[in-house]
Amino acid sequence: MHYSTTYSSPTGEKITLASDGESLCGLWNGNHKYMYENMKSRDDLPIFNDTKKWLNKYFAGEKPDFQKLKLAPAGSEFRQAVWKILCEIPYGEVVTYGDIAKTMAKKLGKVKMSAQAVGGAVGHNPISIIIPCHRVVGTNGSLTGYGGGIKTKIKLLEHEGVDMSRFFTPTKGTAL
């Protein structure tokens, strides 16, 4: 059973939080396409209170430590490894899907790794913002690939002080 509550973000979107009762299992902006279904509304879980405090600090311009939250994102070993790399991206910085693919190839003892495979793992990150998938961009500067929407990705990167002049919004693609 998953429980849910909501948080009203300063980006103007409702953020949905999900928990198994103890850990944070999901955090989605707006109408994310990979949200859990049939969650039971419950606002009183300690993990929800802790997450809302974390989000308040984040949106106030602080850099809260995600390690103080009990996170339990569900995913394959490969996805978990990619999400761990996402957690290493500092506030206000971005990396490319290709950068993560190179890191994953090295970890797996391979010559190379598909950036598309990495993109699939990044796109299925169930705990956005805290596991910062918004900090991943295309090698060519494209801002593609954020399940919460490109406008929200831009707002989050601007909030973190990223120089947006080198990036562009794609006009075609599946991640718009």
Active site residues: 133
Sequential DSSP letters for 41-67: E----HHHHHHHHHHHHHHTT----GG
CA distances 40 to 4, 37, 52, Å, are 6, 9, 18
Q: If 0-12 CB within 10 Å is exposed, 13-18 middle and 19+ buried, where does residue 70 land?
A: middle
Rounded Cα distance between 22 and 98, Å, is 35
**Is beta strand 95-96 parallel, antiparallel or unpaired with respect to 40-41?**
unpaired
Helix (H) or strand (E) holding 173: none
